[in-house]
Chain A
């Protein structure tokens, strides 16, 4: 159990919010989940994990057999960290409980980006058994390869509670790939994940998250980032596998001048999946910029694709692009792009489009000799391709591979 200096205040606030419904998404009955699981043994060598487990993790971008492509690794099963290691100087990867013991100052970051009383899910993370990862780059250090983190749900009907703290100290560069997945193919589970990102002056974090759940799992991530002067936060989110219900609305606050935030999301909802996913950026300092891009495909499920940019400082710029493809008769996509400017000199824009594949585009490819299904596949593949500026080539290629691996499920 994680204890912090200010635990009492957090606990009190959490208790007060324990029944507070979230602003968006279906209300999940937390009572049907169990909150603790058996201890998991620590694995000094994660390549010794069972083959099936490793395969599930690999599908979510977590490579355990060849550590040379990763700067560090963290694995949490249910609510217990089972491995953490790091291969590069200037980079720290450990369980957040361990980090809180090591660093007194860490409590200053605890629940600072995300409010503990946001809703019953954040409250539950604070009030129940939980752990998570702490990843930090020291000033001036740059990760050569990404740090990988895996949050693995093993026990049926478990509520997995995660609280992560990610810090890029001044002028450092941190690339993270997080894979969240489950051993369970059809049993229920709940993943509550709080992630707080702190990007100091001139620092850069790229955070690529791949979710591979199952049709019975409910997921409520709660993430927020605070970006200082000239900092960059680049978040990529990929969800192409079935999930029962997922709602998240990560927020980045650009408090520093010329801070840059980019959110890219790729969402696929099959029959029975209900997604409510947005990205929110608050531009509070001069020259801050953001771009939010979301691509949503339904093959029968429902997707609410939100986006919100708020400009509160001079010379800020933001663009929101939200495109949805409905590939099945019964699918639903609801795009809700929102812009708010509170002074002259902000430059905010959005574009949103929802529909089926244009017949004209299909025919264009067919006139070049592609069959209808080949033409459709080409268009869908193009739709899912988001060229991500600032992502290291290795991560970009891995992201494309993860997307390509799931494409066949759509078509």
Chain B
């Protein structure tokens, strides 16, 4: 089997009839972590939703290949069962469904009460297992709960939407730990299989999680690709305006 986890080729995506992503190309090897930067509204979340397979995000051109298999036409749940998982930025509250039930569903019957408890303790959510999922959760609790569910689900490819947004400093280091665990950062590099694509607007998460490649998205295209720390330094010094200017300079049509 090839060591390519995800390969996106000339991907164009429409949402409610409007083209949001134009000709996206991206490739991630198994075990790698990549980071998507970009100003608000640049299409980062749309890219994640399209990879995950949400029906509202319609692929009109191009392909998504996951571990060698063309998944472009597969449904959301089929993709999840193949090994793609996602941490939602704003997951819905589901009344009556307990956090415990959600973790159990993610474990697909593979885990027992003890395993659920362990995961909850790891995410500092032991007291949340009997609460309704996301009901009255703070920003940090939602992120931790999402990562706890993903640790139960154990996807090969994890899509993470803004893990640091709305999270205080105490929480962010725990979120970093959970992400590192999810992405097997404790494993030697050649043995890592878990792959991550992380959206970050501010880049704070890079203080906790190492990434190999960074992309800057602007107006629905990938403007540049490179070392994530280098990209972040530019963004911190000059802001996204500089990225947009740089990108426009290189695109003759503007």
Among B86, B94, B97, B101, which residue has its beta carbon within 8 angstroms of that of A367? B86
Among A361, A367, A375, which residue has its beta carbon within 8 angstroms of that of B85? A367
**CB atoms of B92 and A367 under 8 A apart:** no
Interface of A, secondary structure class, is: helix
Instruction: State whether A369 and B94 are in contact (beta carbons under 8 Å apart), knowing that A378-B101, A378-B105 are contacts in the complex.
Output: no
Bound: A323/B94 CA distance, A:
13
Bound: A378/B101 CA distance, A:
9
Chain A residues with CB under 8 A of B88: 364, 367
Answer whether residue A329 sits at the interface, using C-beta atoms and an 8 A cutoff.
no
**CB atoms of A367 and B76 under 8 A apart:** yes
Answer whether residue A334 sits at the interface, using C-beta atoms and an 8 A cutoff.
no
| B68-126 interface with A by 8 A CB criterion | 75-77, 80-81, 85-86, 88, 91-92, 94-98, 101-102, 105-106, 108
Instruction: State whether A361 and B92 are in contact (beta carbons under 8 Å apart), knowing that A366-B77, A368-B85 are contacts in the complex.
Output: yes
Q: Closest Cβ of chain A: how far from B202's Cβ, in Å? A: 25
For A366, A368, A378, the residue with the greatest tally of chain B CB atoms inside 10 Å of its CB is A368
Answer whether residue A379 sits at the interface, using C-beta atoms and an 8 A cutoff.
yes
Chain A residues with CB under 8 A of B149: 368
**CB atoms of A368 and B97 under 8 A apart:** no
B90, closest chain A residue (CB): A360
Chain A residues with CB under 8 A of B98: 382
For A367, A370, A372, the residue with the greatest tally of chain B CB atoms inside 10 Å of its CB is A367
B97, closest chain A residue (CB): A382
A-B interface pairs (CB < 8 A), number: 68
Bound: A383/B94 CA distance, A:
8
**CB atoms of B92 and A360 under 8 A apart:** yes
**CB atoms of A382 and B85 under 8 A apart:** no
Give how many B residues have a beta carbon under 8 Å from the other chain's beta carbons: 26
Bound: A383/B133 CA distance, A:
12
Bound: A384/B95 CA distance, A:
10
Answer whether residue A363 sits at the interface, using C-beta atoms and an 8 A cutoff.
yes
**CB atoms of A370 and B77 under 8 A apart:** yes
Bound: A383/B95 CA distance, A:
6
| A349-371 interface with B by 8 A CB criterion | 358, 360-361, 363-371
Instruction: State whether A382 and B76 are in contact (beta carbons under 8 Å apart), knowing that A364-B88, A369-B108 are contacts in the complex.
Output: no
Instruction: State whether A363 and B76 are in contact (beta carbons under 8 Å apart), knowing that A368-B106, A369-B81, A383-B95 are contacts in the complex.
Output: yes
Chain B residues with CB under 8 A of A185: none
A360, closest chain B residue (CB): B92
Q: Closest Cβ of chain B: how far from A379's Cβ, in Å? A: 6
Answer whether residue B52 sits at the interface, using C-beta atoms and an 8 A cutoff.
yes
Q: Closest Cβ of chain B: how far from A142's Cβ, in Å? A: 27
Bound: A381/B105 CA distance, A:
13
Answer whether residue A385 sits at the interface, using C-beta atoms and an 8 A cutoff.
yes
Instruction: State whether A363 and B96 are in contact (beta carbons under 8 Å apart), knowing that A369-B106, A378-B105 are contacts in the complex.
Output: no
A358, closest chain B residue (CB): B92
A380, closest chain B residue (CB): B96
Chain A residues with CB under 8 A of B95: 323, 382-383
Answer whether residue B54 sits at the interface, using C-beta atoms and an 8 A cutoff.
yes
A-B contact pairs, 11 of them (CB 8 A): A360-B92, A363-B54, A368-B85, A368-B102, A369-B80, A369-B106, A370-B77, A379-B97, A382-B101, A384-B96, A385-B96
Query: Using a CB–CB distance below 8 Å, which chain A residues touch chain B?
Result: 323, 358, 360-361, 363-372, 374-375, 378-379, 381-386
Query: Using a CB–CB distance below 8 Å, which chain B residues touch chain A?
Result: 52, 54-55, 75-77, 80-81, 85-86, 88, 91-92, 94-98, 101-102, 105-106, 108, 132, 149, 153
| Sample of 19 more A-B contacts, CB < 8 Å, known A364-B92, A374-B105, A382-B94 | A323-B95, A364-B88, A366-B75, A366-B76, A367-B52, A367-B80, A367-B85, A367-B86, A368-B149, A369-B80, A369-B105, A371-B77, A375-B77, A378-B101, A382-B97, A382-B101, A382-B132, A383-B96, A385-B96
